[in-house]
Amino acid sequence: MTSIHGPGHAFLQKDTPLQQTPAPVAVFDLDGTLVDSLPDLVAALNVSLDGEGLATASQEDARKGVGHGARRMIEHALTSQGVAIEKERIDRMHKRFLEFYGANIAVGSVPFPGTEAALDKLEEHGILLAVCTNKYEALAVELLETLGLAGRFRTIAGGDTYGVSKPDPLHLTRTVEAAGGSRAIMVGDSNADIGAAKAAGIPSVAVTFGYSTIPVEDLGADVIISHFDELEAHALRLLGIGAHAG
């Protein structure tokens, strides 16, 4: 077994032959890209709102705050109700959110259609897999472990792993380094994902089925896909692999 070390959560991988050059990496966002986690995020948000005697949020409204961590999601919900953003309240709600979410992390969360098949195809081409999410690392690992996906990834880097989070390009480049790869692509659903990739000079793929509040075509991604069935060919082209290069 080969152990992949470095910042971020590492997993034991199957023995692989020594390579003269590092393999390419496909880096994925988590919420709204790999996993439809909105139902459980909204449930946790509404527990935190209810604890303050505030109105609960609909999934449609709550999804506008997903992608930048629980605090931003809470802040968005408060702003939507015209409630002042006060640190003491946010801290209290954040604590309640995390307690509930940690205990109910995959009640309604499921991988998006085609996710596992797409990962299989990328691995068949020798592409390493990694996760770069603004979710706390421990929660990201727990969610992926609960869904049986964690072992697919060389590293899982959360918003607290390196002290920076997307759209800071360092979050993405450190994830690629931790995965032990070389050239990379970023697959995501939001301006945080595509913005990090653009700043890092890494090609990006935007998915249309995520939680972006900005029209996906306006994110500036190199490729837009509406289903993971489309990912393989675009990933090979962007990574310069085989007949799909160029």
C-alpha 209/C-alpha 233 separation (Å) is 19
29 is catalytic: yes
Rounded Cα–Cα distance for residues 15 and 221 (Å)? 34
Of the residues 29, 36, 40, 189, which is catalytic? 29
Residue 185 vs residues 45, 67, 75, 173, 239: alpha-carbon distances, Å = 31, 19, 31, 11, 7
Q: What is the 3-state secondary structure (H, E, C) of the chain?
A: CEECCCCCEECEECCCCCCCCCCCEEEECCECCCEECHHHHHHHHHHHHHCCCCCCCCHHHHHHHCCCCHHHHHHHHHHHCCCCCCHHHHHHHHHHHHHHHHHCCCCCCEECCCHHHHHHHHHHCCCEEEEECCCCHHHHHHHHHHCCCHHHCCEEECCCCCCCCCCCHHHHHHHHHHHCCCCEEEEECCHHHHHHHHHHCCCEEEECCCCCCCCHHHCCCCEEECCHHHHHHHHHHHHCCHHHCC
The answer to whether the CB of 48 falls within 8 A of the CB of 97 is yes
Q: Which active-site residues does the annotation give?
A: 29
